[in-house]
Structure 1
Amino acid sequence: MLLRPRDSRNALIPAAGLRACCKFMGVTYEVEGKENIVKNSGCVVLINHQSMLDLIVLACLWPVMPNCTVISKKEIFYLQPFGLASWLWGTIFIDRMNVKGARSAVNKTGDTIRTRQARVLMFPEGTRNDKKELLPFKKGAFHLALASRCPIQPVAVCRYTFLGKQVFDNGHIKIRILPSISTEGYTPENMDKLIDEAYKVMSENVDAISESDACQINNNSSAKILK
């Protein structure tokens, strides 16, 4: 596979490597709800944020959701060689300290989502959260969705109950792609209603899949990659 300048497909190789690492970590995974993936349009993909293991989630979503990219603070670009790799697979870097520049980047990214049918993967909680309830959602992802005039694609990831404070147990990660949420009729003035809708559906599904037997600690299971 040849590297292409700033192309999301450049991330498919490291994504495959991360999925392969699951076998050695004793972590299995599955992605359900692929029939809900937005077609013929870009979208803003919302994912609940828990730990560094979320990189595995991104590695699972990248091959099944074409044209994926992420937004990151510009400082990440200077963490080489990861920064260069991030640039190559199309990461959008913004200056969080420059409010005016950040807003301009949001508008530009909105145009990119709409014209290129791109999917921007974002963590609406804004920070890692290993608690039983989702943190309140930040507004940035929703401003981007409105700027792009494209739907929101919620994705629920089960809680990593197999992550102990001192022991890393075998475990299973269930990823559920949920039906899209239209942004039609929403404006910055009534955006809170859109946020509440996304929060409710994601919270309910995170609870549901986290309570399933498949996502509980499984010390006796052997590592197996689920296709």
Structure 2
Amino acid sequence: MAVLVWPLAVVAFLALLWTVSSVARCLIKWTVFVVVSLISACVPIPLMLLRPRDSRNALIPSAGFRACSRILGISLKVEGKENVVKGSGTVVVINHQSFLDLIVLACVWPVMDNCTVISKKEIFYLQPFGLASWLWGTIFIDRVNAKDAQGRVNQTAEIIRKRKARVLMFPEGTRNLGNKKLLPFKKGAFHLAVSSGCPIQPVAVSRYRFLGPLRFDSGSIKIKILPSIDTKGLTKDDIPKLIDETYAALSESVDLLSADDAASATT
């Protein structure tokens, strides 16, 4: 009997905190998200070992992330699936807001086959998550070693061409939560698109109105896959113009999605 008392007491205490404290609710939600994320990513590792470096290995973790979003009170909606480029690799650029962007990747991954991501090599050493990341095809780069990073970019361009892979990237380079304007885009994704000769596929995500400093409410995430931007025949000299075109398309769509999300929340 005593064995059951402590777990029940802990659950009751957490339920009380959840009810009376928004800060406690925020911390509990983040804890749940981290724990479920790790379990979703790492438990399927034995199955992933059967087909290492295969993008399909991420489909089980993706399902776990989407299920977790429902636990956290977040609804998901993906629009523009008809815009997904067929028969070609692409560089997919997404606006970057928070660690919760993992949920966005989990929504995009099943819609766009043969996906991969680029990550700093330090992530690989966060085991067992690093192993899981490697098994689903993450490309690790050394950002400190410019020569190594450039070599990896060249290899990635070749992967995009040969395997028709879709590389998911955040061109802002850093999380941008709460700002009403996208940060300036870094050039890496656009160099990669031009080097591979493959189109850019912008993906806009509504701003996380439900998230803030020590605040994690219920809410929604709206994702829209935009028409692709062609890069055939472009050179490095065309990259600034390409960045401007992509920035304008993504920024406008993020604003429209966010306005629509805000309007839906008030009705």
Cα 1:204/1:182, change in 2 over 3 Å: same
Task: Name the counterpart of 1:153.
Answer: 201
| Counterpart residue identity of residue 216, structure 2 | F
Partner of 1:141: 189
Selected match of 2:229 from 181, 191, 211: 181
Residue matched to 1:224:
none
Q: CA deviation at 1:216?
A: 6.0
Task: State which of 74, 80, 89 in structure 2 corresponds to 1:27.
Answer: 74
| 1:45 corresponds to | 92
Identity over aligned pairs, percent:
69
1:195 pairs with 243, 249, 258, which one?
Answer: 243
- 1:64 matched to 2:111? The reply is yes
Residue aligning to 1:7: 54
Q: Deviation string for 1:157-177 (max 9, x for gaps)? A: 000011132332110100000
Q: Which ranges of structure 1 fall in alignment gaps of 5 or more residues? A: 221-227
**TM-score when normalising by structure 1:** 0.93
Is the 1:174–1:215 contact (alpha carbons within 8 Å) kept by the matching residues of 2?
Answer: no
Q: Assess if the C-alpha contact under 8 Å between 1:172 and 1:214 holds in 2.
A: no
Higher relative contact order (CA 8 A, sep 6+): 1
CA distance in 2, matches of 1:154, 1:123: 10
Residue matched to 2:124 = 77
Structure showing greater Rg? 2
- Structure 1 runs of 4+ with >2 Å offset: 164-167, 213-218
Alignment RMSD (CA, Å)? 1.6
Q: How many residues align?
A: 219
Query: Given the alignment, which residue of 93, 103, 117 partners 2:140?
Result: 93
Q: What is the one-letter code of the residue matched to 2:85? A: V
The superposition leaves residues 50-100 of structure 1 with CA deviations (integer Å, 9 ceiling, x where unpaired) of 001100000001111000000001111001111000000000001111111
Match for 1:205: what amino acid?
S
Taking structure 1 as reference, are residues 112 and 213 closer, same or farther at Cα in structure 2, changes over 3 Å only? closer
CA–CA distance in structure 1, aligned partners of residues 214 and 102 of structure 2 = 21
- Letter of the 1:32 counterpart: E
Query: By how many angstroms is 1:214 displaced?
Result: 6.0
Counterpart CA distance in 1 for 2:105 and 2:263 is 18
For residues 70 and 182 of structure 1, the distance between their equivalents in structure 2, rounded to whole angstroms, comes to: 21
- CA deviation map 1:144-169 (0-9, x unaligned): 11111100000000000111323321
Richer in helix (by share): 2
Question: Cα distance 1:213–1:120, how it changes in 2: closer, same or farther (>3 A)?
Answer: closer
Question: Structure 2-normalised TM-score?
Answer: 0.79
